[in-house]
Structure 1
Amino acid sequence: MMRAPQRETAKRSVMIAGHRTSVSLEAEFWEALQEIARGRGHSVQALIGAIDSGRGERNLSSAIRVYVLSAFRGTSEVSESPLTDRVGIGQGVQEPSGRVGEA
C-alpha cells in the first residue's frame, strides 16, 4: 500500500493574549485560515486568538485544523460575529523567514 506524500508544515510565531507561541500547520491550513479570516473581515491573528479561547484541552494546532474543517463544512465552532479586542491580538504573524506577514 502506498503512503500519501507528507505535507510540509510551516511554523509561525503568533501572539496570543500577550504571549508569543509557535504554531505548526501545513501550508494548506495557513492558506485556508487566511481565506476564512479575510472573508470574515478579521486578521489571522484575531481568528487564532478566538480559536485559542474556545479550544478547551485540544492543542492549538489541532484546534485550528478542526476549526478550518468545520468552517468549510459550514459548522464552525467559533462565532462569525466580530471578535473582541484582546491583548496581543492583531499583531503580525511571523513568517518562517522572520518577516511579519499579513495577519
Structure 2
Amino acid sequence: MIRKHSATLHGHRTSFSLEDAFWDELQAIARARGLSLAALIREIDDAREPESNLSSALRLHVLSWIKERSAR
C-alpha cells in the first residue's frame, strides 16, 4: 500500500508517497547507518537531481542499498 509521509527538510515541510516496503527499508537503512530517519531523508534529498522527485529518489536509494549489499 502507498502511504503519504512528511518530513521537514532544511526548515520546510514536504510530503512524499512510498509503498510500505520502501518505508520499512528506509528505516532499516537509517538504523544500519546510525542515522535518524529524518537525517537519511535529508541526505537523499540533498543528493538527488533537481528534476527528480523525492519519492523516486527514496526508492532509488533503497534499490541501490539493496544491490550493494547483495553484491558483497
What is the TM-score of this pair, normalised by structure 2? Answer: 0.90
State the percentage of identical aligned residues: 53
| Structure 1 unpaired stretches of 5+ | 1-7, 76-103
Distance in structure 1 (CA, Å) of the matches to 2:66 and 2:23: 14
Distance in structure 2 (CA, Å) of the matches to 1:49 and 1:13: 12
**Which gives a bigger RCO, structure 1 or 2 (Cα 8 Å, sep 6+)?**
1
Distance in structure 1 (CA, Å) of the matches to 2:9 and 2:64: 22
Higher helix share: 2
Moved beyond 2 Å, runs of 4+: none
Question: In the alignment, is residue 73 of structure 1 matched against residue 72 of structure 2?
Answer: no
Larger radius of gyration: 1
Cα distance per residue 1:24-73 (max 9 Å; x no partner): 00000000000000000001110000000010121000000000000011
- Give the match's secondary structure for 2:17: strand
Partner of residue 42, structure 1:
35
Amino acid of the structure 2 residue aligned with 1:12:
H
* C-alpha RMSD of the superposition: 1.1
